[in-house]
Structure 1
Amino acid sequence: MPYQTYTLSNGLRIIHRPTSSAVSYCGFTVNAGTRDESTGKFGLAHFVEHMIFKGTTHRRSWHILNRMETVGGELNAYTTKEETVIYSVFLEEHLSRAMDLLADLVINSQFPAHELEKEREVILDEINSYRDTPSELIYDEFENRLFSGHALGHNILGSQKDLESLCSEDGHIFLTQQYHPGNMIFFSMGKTEFKKIIRLAEHFFSALPLSSHKNNRIPPGHNPPFHIQEKMETFQAHTILGTRAYHMFDPKRHSLYLLNNILGGPGMNSLLNVSLREKTGYVYNVESSVTSYTDTGIFSIYFGSDPKNTEKCLQLIHKELNRLRTTALTQNQLNAAKKQLLGQLGVATENKENTALNMGKNFLHYGSCSTTEEVARRIESITSKEILETANELFSEEKLSTLIFH
């Protein structure tokens, strides 16, 4: 079986993928992120993710830090707009140790005041570091403007003002509301028998607090396209253009994934890389990306260039977008694009950590995980007509927003 599932007596869903590797992965994927914060508490989800490592009723921060490290394992976490993930990587023999620690973090975190003050400074430094990296900052700023006035329209790290107001009680409230069996799943990948994983889960996770709290996620309304240039003291101009796209349950997202790979995916033969870098030398890096949320999505194109070439790059990009809108791919072009994407997905499956994390996210939102064969069939079924329709729906110039840092 590609994966196995089970629901504990308290309602916590478990998914496990058997492998033959000596390295195992497990963790919690929580259906709570930046968009689930309240006004004045922006940055709280990320702050809680940091603070659960800083002390529980059973362990101090030093003990948490060393629990997996001393056996060669790792403990990690990250926050997105819609999820928080806490997970561990370790040799299979240390599964019980990892599950015990993860349970302690999500059930017994104390948010000690002295640690809170230190971690607040760490996150403020993280925010300042981000501001020093315009090629990363511009993605957040673009998304903030695209969803202005909505819960998706503020960055994950939060603001200095809101961070300075957060206290231990805020952390406890968020943890109690969000980290409960109905709002999270436990994922595992390794060679441990599933029966043992269930037995350990019943033992360690039975104390997860029950809660009826549900997030009130409202889809974003319409905002008109924008074209903004922000003055920054940078030698290079950084530019993003894009638009809202399909949510993660929209069938049309598959044609967009393929179209995105054709246009600005990781391959050196992508249309934009050939046009803006190989033929003209205007950029060092150009890429397109797709982000799918539960009720909306984003398609965007980023490039960095000499300021004198920014407008030329934009013209070339619109030329490629218009070509995709007006000229259908030939069958040979479509087959080649599918073959490339399927090859990339096959290579990506060798990254076991990302495979485990994606499995957790998919099970949280879809209640299942697609096999490699199922994904391949979806890609193979995409038609040239679907690609053309997707391009026409998203790539018209009047729908695209632009943000330039220089």
Structure 2
Amino acid sequence: MYKTHVLDNGLTIIGEEIPYLKSIALGVWINAGSRIEDEKISGISHFIEHMLFKGTKNRTSKDIANEIDNLGGQINAFTSKECTCYYVKLLDSHINKGIDILSDMMLNPLFNQTDIDKERLVILEELKMYEDSPEDLAYDLLSEGIYKGHSLGYNIIGTEKSLFDINKKEIEEYFGNYYVPNNSVISICGNFNFEEIVKEIEDKFKSWNKKEVDINFTKADFKNTYITKNKDTEQVNLAIGLEAIASEETEEAYALAIINTIFGGSISSRLFQKIREEEGLVYSIYSSQSLYRQCGELGIFASMSNENLEEVYNLVIEEIKDLKNNYLSDEEIRLTKEQLKGSYMLGLESTSSRMMAIGKAMLLNKKVRNSDEILKSIDNIDRETIKKVIDKVFNLDKIGVCIVGRDVENIKL
């Protein structure tokens, strides 16, 4: 059962006590990601994520790493389109050290000019790394195309130009505007006493000052797009996007999870069984949903030899049409509900996964469903809701296509 507490400065704490474990995962969630950036400062959310590990008024970058490593723990962070998260996982006896370090990073970052200039180069190498991955590049280009002109289509890392345009003043202003307690959530999962850990968090974060936050999430309109990008690779990578639903449409989101699992979300899925197992045309093929506030997309990804591209694409389109025309059988729906419930319950065995789930839900949706509610929601999805979501999502009038590979610039599918 989850417990929540809101500090006087507006910081929300949500925790789940699991006394039979010996570890605790704790995350600080910030309601700021690449979606709220403009083109000039594209990548600044991710830039700040890096900078918070470069040292504080009390610790060097090496101190942060050593203090966690010496305890056998983990510390890391990630930036997404809609949020940023900094987290630790430690033995329960060491969690106070984790709280101390994370509070120090949030409240006392240096943003030293020399570190900023060095980190630009590190992030540029990260950008190049993703550009060297054809699958990542295909998704980034697809996202840029289907959300063209909207920040949701920006690369989370930014661009080479924006990375060198971002300056110390902009970093400090952005940090000051969004890294405030009333725009944040702390989630905890593992072996702890909630009341005791709330006191520890309050002691460390009480000087974090509340501030009015102005975030306006505008809806990103889905745009049809067709993109090719030459890349000297042994395989060609295909990314297809379909307009989906928003994350807040909870019932339809569960229905889409069922549909996606059957369509391409598992090794028993239609795409995998038809195109890989029966036809032998690909090694990797799958689908996944990315749901945001007010909008979302379903992505289909495959890699194959150039000579198989057209056939794979046509088979994917055939599967989309078949799903749209014939929907799903009752037996497929029943079996997939069991599959989803089993996968969800297995995920609950990880404190990190549980911490991530409750933290993100509280930050983005202001509420968290317990496991019984989630299992019941999956069970309650009916055939009509699934048909409605299929009609809405598997619509070839709204489609984006991106192809990355050798000599693909003149390919027309």
Is the structural similarity TM-score above 0.5?
A: yes
Alignment of 1:37-116 (within 5 A): 37-116=37-116
Residues 260-312 of structure 1, C-alpha deviation per residue, up to 9 Å, x if partnerless?
Answer: 0111113x211000110010000001000001111211111000011111111
Q: TM-score, normalised by structure 1?
A: 0.96
Distance 2:163 2:80 in 1: 17
Cα offset, 1:46, TM superposition: 0.3
SS in 1 for 2:333: helix
SS in 2 for 1:88: strand
The equivalent residue for 1:391 is 390
* Contact map agreement 1:328 1:384 (CA 8 A) in 2: no
* Contact map agreement 1:52 1:105 (CA 8 A) in 2: yes
The equivalent residue for 2:282 is 283
Alignment of 1:11-22 (within 5 A): 11-19=10-18, 20-22=20-22
SS in 2 for 1:291: strand
Question: Does residue 141 of structure 2 align to residue 141 of structure 1?
Answer: yes
* Contact map agreement 2:242 2:395 (CA 8 A) in 1: no
Q: What one-letter code is carried by the residue in structure 1 that aligns with 2:376? A: R
Q: What one-letter code is carried by the residue in structure 1 that aligns with 2:162? A: D
Which stretch shows the higher mean deviation, 333-342 or 298-307? 333-342
What is the alpha-carbon root mean square deviation over aligned residues? Answer: 1.3
Which stretch shows the higher mean deviation, 193-202 or 327-336? 327-336
Alignment of 1:69-218 (within 5 A): 69-218=69-218
SS in 1 for 2:272: helix
Q: TM-score, normalised by structure 2?
A: 0.95
Which stretch shows the higher mean deviation, 35-44 or 346-355? 346-355
SS in 2 for 1:230: strand
* Contact map agreement 1:110 1:172 (CA 8 A) in 2: no
The equivalent residue for 1:36 is 36
* Contact map agreement 2:242 2:396 (CA 8 A) in 1: no
Alignment of 1:298-309 (within 5 A): 298-309=297-308
Question: Does residue 400 of structure 2 align to residue 401 of structure 1?
Answer: yes
The equivalent residue for 2:379 is 380
SS in 2 for 1:210: coil
Q: Which has the higher contact order (CA 8 A, sep 6+)?
A: 2
* Contact map agreement 2:238 2:301 (CA 8 A) in 1: yes
Distance 2:85 2:247 in 1: 18
The equivalent residue for 1:319 is 318
SS in 2 for 1:189: strand
Residues 302-359 of structure 1, C-alpha deviation per residue, up to 9 Å, x if partnerless?
Answer: 0001111111111111221112111132322221121122122122222321221111
Cα offset, 1:389, TM superposition: 2.2
SS in 1 for 2:210: coil
SS in 2 for 1:402: strand
Cα offset, 1:222, TM superposition: 4.7
The equivalent residue for 1:227 is 226
* Contact map agreement 2:31 2:183 (CA 8 A) in 1: yes
Q: What one-letter code is carried by the residue in structure 1 that aligns with 2:391? A: N
Residues 153-188 of structure 1, C-alpha deviation per residue, up to 9 Å, x if partnerless?
Answer: 210111111111222222211111111111111111
SS in 1 for 2:58: coil
The equivalent residue for 2:411 is none
Aligned length: 403
Distance 2:357 2:268 in 1: 26
The equivalent residue for 1:328 is 327
Distance 1:260 1:243 in 2: 12
